[in-house]
Chains A and B, each alone.
Chain A
Amino acid sequence: MLRKIIVALLIMISFLLESAVFQHFAMAGIVPKFIIILTSSFGFMRGEKEGMTIGFFCGFLSDVFYGDVLGFYALILTYIGYINGKFSRIFYPEDIKLPIALIVVSDLSYGMICYILLFLLRGRFDFLYFFTKVILPEALYTIVAAVFVYPVILKINQKLEAREKRSAQKFV
């Protein structure tokens, strides 16, 4: 129960960070994607199901406020959460290389999917421009943000897991 409340709070905070707070720190109009950091890190820390659920709700929040149709960003982020969850088997909390790599790949693929579905299909063919001006800067800014945000998420998750273990032992 505590986990659910904390995760809901984290989703809210990530959405607020990128839509309101970081608008004041935007570089060349680009904002880091905190919801991708959150979705992907819960994916590889906790497995497919939690990644998927968090991705779904993060995407749904963006859909309601900024999407043309409901479910578009939710679907993309659900899959990002699921695929990151596949890596939970080789995840160790001490290792920072895998998480950062996964977050970058997630953000890059998110950018590519958005480009293909929102721009390429409407006849905007200048891929190189969009890649260098939107997708790549977004990914770079997201890594920088992830270096600071990911350890916090990891700590919160470890605290929660320790607590769950204690209460599970009590019942035995």
Chain B
Amino acid sequence: MSPVVKRRGERFTLPGKYLLFILTVLCICLMLLTFGTNVFDKPLNTALGYVVIPFQQGIARAGEWLSRRSDELGQIRVLLDENARLKEEVAALTEENTLLQQDKYELNHLQELMELDQQYGDYKKIGARIISRDSGNWYTSFLIDKGSDDGLAEDMNVIAGGGLVGRITATGPNWARVTAIISDNSNVSAMTLASGDNLIVSGDLQMMSEGVITFTKLVDSKNVVVEGDKIVTSDISDKYLPNILIGYIHTINKDNNNLTKSGYITPAVDFEHLSEVLVITDLKQVVDETE
């Protein structure tokens, strides 16, 4: 029987096959449309933002309160041990610090760091709270509770604890999505602080379980870059502001082509226990190349 023939006294219903076909075509059209343009972004982000975000905010706050209470109870003993250990460590570190201060090279290094801090201080920043994480288990991105109403926009840089977290990739009126630098689909143009050599830092799901992310294309012709060197965002990146700390070199390997090096970086930010971040509202200056 043809599905479109309408019988008397029978309600017209669309067979499953046809609905599947319609939904498939709809999804493919949406994908093609949103791949190049962002026509739906504004209305959808606004509408769904007002429905879902308030719940997520509430849950995030309640969850934080609960986990803080359980942490307090569970960790008192651990904290006592840790306190004793930390006191020893403080003593050791104080001694080490005195040694460091005598070292002239290290002094220069610290001055450079101070300049770096100064530069962070110049940017305008907004604090935001993380309210939910990507549930897909594949990419690392999360939502924060500030959006375009608070002056946030796409491509703004996000930092926490002095290191780079990522950048904003979508905004609604009261929320924004941050894609982390450890996400598998993220690449950051970076440089070494000491020698100014450029390299590319890429997120890597596979390496992240060991607490490191990969870097590639380091041209280090003078062989001066060593493990432990600071990696900061480069001047030539078109999304990231210069000189934001990304992390420290963990291992360096020579590539097969003998020209470039690659290896792993330990990120400066603890992505496991992130709950509040700072958004830099200054955007990187971009030259319009349409002419």
Q: Which of A28, A65, A71, A122 contacts B31 (CB 8 A)?
A: A71
Q: In the bound complex, how far is the Cα of B52 from the Cα of A64, in angstroms?
A: 11
Q: Is the CB of B16 within 8 A of A56?
A: no
Query: CB-CB contacts of B24-50 with A at 8 A, as 1s and 0s?
Result: 101111110111000010001100100
Task: Verify B143–A65 contact, CB threshold 8 A.
Answer: yes
- Chain A interface bracket (under 10, 10 to 19, 20 to 34, 35 or more): 35 or more
In the complex, A109 has a CB within 8 A of chain B: no
Chain A binder among B54-62, B105-113, B215-223, B257-265? B54-62
Q: B20 and A20: CB pair below 8 A?
A: no
Once A and B bind, how many residue pairs between them come within 8 Å at the CB atom? 136
The CA-CA distance from A16 to B135 in the complex, in Å, is 10
Q: B102 within 8 Å of A by Cβ?
A: no
Query: A119 and B135: CB pair below 8 A?
Result: no
Most buried by A among B56, B137, B141, B185: B137
Closest CB-CB distance, B212 to chain A, in whole Å? 15
Determine whether the beta carbon of B35 is less than 8 Å from that of A20: no
Is B20 touching A62 in the complex (CB atoms < 8 A)?
no
How many residues from B make CB contacts under 8 Å with A?
Answer: 46
- The answer to whether the Cβ of A99 comes within 8 Å of any Cβ in the partner chain is no
CB distance from A125 to the nearest CB of B (A): 11
In whole angstroms, how far apart are the Cα atoms of A16 and B48 in the complex?
13
Collect the chain B residues with CB atoms within 8 Å of residue A149's CB. none
Separation in Å of the B261 CB from the closest CB of chain A?
Answer: 20
B58: nearest residue on chain A (CB-CB)? Answer: A20
Q: By DSSP majority rule, is chain B's interface helix, strand, loop, or mixed?
A: helix
B135 to chain A, nearest CB (A): 4
Among B23, B60, B143, B206, contact of A124 (Cβ-Cβ < 8 Å): B206
**What A residues does B24 contact at CB under 8 A?**
75, 78-79
Considering only CB atoms, which chain B residue lies closest to A78 in the complex? B23
On whether the beta carbons of A23 and B137 are closer than 8 Å, the reply is no
Q: Indicate the member of B27, B60, B141 with the most A CB atoms within 10 Å.
A: B27
Interface class of chain A by DSSP: helix
Pairwise interchain contact A47-B60, C-beta atoms closer than 8 A: no
User: Residue of B at shortest CB range from A76?
Assistant: B27
Q: Report Cα–Cα, A15/B133, bound state, in Å.
A: 11
Decide: B52 and A65 in contact? CB cutoff 8 A: yes
List, in ascending order, chain B residues with CB within 8 A of A12's CB.
Answer: 51-52, 55
A47 to B138: give the CA distance in the assembly, Å. Answer: 30
- Nearest residue, chain B, Cβ from A35: B135
> Are A56 and B23 in contact, CB atoms less than 8 angstroms apart?
yes
A74 lies within 8 A of chain B by Cβ: yes
Contact A65 B177 (CB under 8 A): yes
B34: A residues at CB distance < 8 A: 69-71
In the assembly, what is the distance between CA of A30 and CA of B135, in Å? Answer: 8
Q: Give residues of chain A (115-152) contacting chain B, Cβ–Cβ below 8 Å.
A: 115, 118-119, 122, 124, 126, 129-130, 133-134, 138
B209 close to chain A: CB less than 8 A: yes
Complex contacts, A29 vs chain B, CB 8 Å: 137
Q: Which B residues have a C-beta under 8 Å from some C-beta of A?
A: 14, 16, 19-20, 23-24, 26-31, 33-35, 40, 44-45, 48, 51-52, 55-56, 59-60, 63, 66-67, 131-139, 141, 143, 170, 177, 184-185, 205-206, 209
Which residues does A use to contact B, with CB under 8 Å? 12, 15-16, 18-24, 28-31, 33, 35, 47-49, 52-53, 56, 61-62, 64-66, 68-75, 78-79, 82, 85, 114-115, 118-119, 122, 124, 126, 129-130, 133-134, 138
29 sample A-B contacts, Cβ–Cβ < 8 Å, listed by A number: A15-B135, A19-B133, A19-B135, A20-B56, A20-B132, A30-B137, A31-B133, A48-B19, A49-B16, A49-B19, A52-B23, A61-B48, A64-B44, A65-B48, A65-B170, A66-B134, A66-B139, A66-B141, A68-B185, A71-B28, A72-B27, A72-B31, A74-B27, A78-B20, A78-B24, A118-B184, A119-B205, A130-B205, A133-B209
Query: Given A48-B16, A49-B19, A72-B31, 12 other A-B contacts at CB below 8 A?
Result: A16-B52, A16-B56, A29-B137, A62-B135, A66-B139, A70-B31, A70-B40, A71-B28, A78-B24, A82-B20, A118-B185, A124-B184
